[in-house]
Amino acid sequence: MNQETKDFQLVETQSLIPPRSVLVRLQPLGLGTPYRESLSSYYQRLADVHSLTPQVLARELVFADITEAAPHKTYNFEDSWRMPSFNGLAASDGRWVSRLEALTSQVGLGELTLGFLGQFISTRGLVNKRPKWCPVCLEDGSNHETPYSPLLWSFKTVTCCPKHKVNLVSSCGCPRAEWRPSGRVKCLPHVCPRCAGSLGRPDHPKATVPSPKKLMHACMVADLLVSALATQPTTQQKTLSDFLKETVQTLLKGNASKLASILGVTKSSLSGWMSGKHRPEFARILQIAELHGCAIEDVLCGRSEKARLTSLLQKEKSAGKPSRRNRGAINWKQVVAALKSELIEGTPLTLTEVATKVGVDPDTLRNREPELCSAISERWLSLRKSATRRRDLAYAGQVRMEAMRLANQGHRPSWQRLLESGLPVTPIWQWRTFVQKICDEVWEQAEASKRIA
C-alpha cells in the first residue's frame, strides 16, 4: 500500500528568553493604588523568599557593590535598610534601587520610595523614625493575600488608615517576658520583631477611631500617591513658589504676612519658599493644601487656579485671627489665678498640660509669667524626682534580698545570676553597674561574717 509522501519543512522559531536574574523576580504589591508597597517591605519579603535575613542578603549581594560605587558614604550600608529614610530619598541616593533592580530584573522599584518628592520638599520630617502599621490591614493581608507594609505608612504626617479608619499603631504591646532573641525572629512587615507574633490584631487597644482632620490628611496623602506626579514624574514648569505668589496676589491681595501668620511661620521662611531658595517640610505642604482647599499635587505643581478661599482663610481675612505675635485679648487675671491654684491644689502637672488647661500657648505663658511657669515646672520635677527615688529604693531592696539569698547558698551574686533567678530588668542601662555594686557589697559582708565566725 503506497502512501503519499509529504515534505515537511522545519522552521526554527526564535523564542525570546528573558535574561536570568540573580534573585527571584518578586513582584511589588499594590502598584497603581494608594497602598503600594514600600521598598523596606519589598526588601524584607525578598530576603524571606530566599530564606535569608536582610542582613545576610545585604552583606552578600547588595553591600559590596554599593560600597565600591559610593566609598565616600560614612554610614553602614549593610544596615541602611533599617534607617528611617530608606523609604524616603536615601534609597535612590545610595543606589539601593538600581542594585535591587539589577539583581531581580524587576523594573520600577523606584516607585516604592518617595523619591519623586526630592525636587519639591525638604527631607526633614518626611518619614517616620519608627515603623507604624494598621492592624486591620495586616490581618486582611494574612487572611487573603500576602501582608505587606504600604508606602503610605512611611509618611510622618499620616497617623491613621484611610481604608479602615483606625489610628496607626507603633507597638505590638507584648510584655518583655515574651521577647525573643533577634536571631530567632523573622524580619517581615507583619511579624513583631520582639515576640515574633502577628501584628494583625484588630482588637489592638490603640487602634482607635481617628479625628476627622487626621483622616482628611491621610486621604490627601493617599491621593498624592496615585496622582500623575507620583506615577509619571516629569519636569514641572511651575513649582510651589509660583503657587504661593499667585495665591497671595489673588486671595490675600498681596499680603504675604497674613499667610505667614496663618501657617505659623516667619516672614523670612515664607519669603524663602516664594523665592525658591528654601524647600519646606512636607507637613507645611499639607497645611498649605488644606488651607487652599486643593490637592497636594496642585500645590507642588503650581496649579493656583484650583485654589479657593477656604473657611479658615475667610475667617482670617475678615475677622483677623490673632497671630503668633498678636495673641489677642487674654484675661490675664484669670490666667494668673489659675496658675496659682495649680501650684497649691491637685496633682502637679507639666507646663504644657497647664497651658492646655488654661487655654494659652506655653511660649506665651513663659514670656508673660516666667516666675509662675518656673514654679510649676519645679513642682512637676520634684514630683518626678520623688517618684524616681521611691522606685530606685524599692528596686535596690529587691536586688539586695535576692543577692543575700544567693550568698547564703554559697553562690557569689552577679548581674547574670540575678537575671537567671528572675530579677526584672529595667530599661535604664546604668542599672547594671548599680546592681553589680550591690552584689559586691553583699558578697563582702557574707565573706566578713564567715571570717568572724
167: enclosing H helix or E strand: strand 166-167
Count of alpha carbons within 13 Å of 321, Cβ hemisphere only?
16
User: What is the model's pLDDT at position 26?
Assistant: 92
User: What is the model's pLDDT at position 367?
Assistant: 79
Among candidate residues 154, 152, 147, the one with its CA nearest the CA of residue 189: 147
Separation CA 319–CA 133 (nearest Å): 41
Percentages (nearest 5) of helix, strand, coil residues in the chain:
55, 5, 45
Separation CA 38–CA 152 (nearest Å): 8
User: What is the model's pLDDT at position 327?
Assistant: 46
Separation CA 256–CA 254 (nearest Å): 6
Buried b (16+ CB within 10 A) or exposed e, 390-399: eeeeebeeeb
- E strands, 269-373, are none
Per-residue pLDDT tens, the chain, 453 aa: give them: 455 555 555 555 555 666 788 899 999 999 889 999 999 999 999 999 999 988 888 888 877 665 555 555 545 556 677 777 788 876 655 578 888 898 999 988 988 999 888 888 888 888 988 889 999 999 888 777 789 999 999 999 999 999 999 999 998 888 877 888 777 788 899 899 888 888 988 888 888 999 999 999 999 999 999 998 888 766 667 888 999 999 888 888 888 888 888 888 888 889 999 988 889 999 999 999 998 889 999 999 988 888 886 655 665 555 444 444 444 467 888 888 888 888 887 788 888 888 888 888 887 888 788 888 888 888 888 888 888 888 888 888 888 898 898 888 888 888 788 878 887 766 555 667 778 888 888 998 888 888 876
Map out the domains of the chain as residue ranges: 21-229, 235-318, 329-453
User: What is the model's pLDDT at position 226?
Assistant: 92
CB 258 within 8 A of CB 316: yes
The correct CATH number of 235-318 out of 1.10.260, 1.10.150, 3.40.50, 1.10.10 is 1.10.260
How far, in Å, are 394, 408, 437, 438, 450 from residue 445 at the CA level? 21, 11, 13, 11, 9
Q: Does residue 66 sit in helix, strand or coil?
A: helix
Cα 244-221-142 angle, rounded to 5 deg:
170
Helices vs. strands in the chain: H and E counts, helices first: 20, 2
Strand partners, 127: 155
Separation CA 410–CA 286 (nearest Å): 66
Cα 59-65-68 angle, rounded to 5 deg:
115
Among candidate residues 75, 79, 83, the one with its CA nearest the CA of residue 38: 83
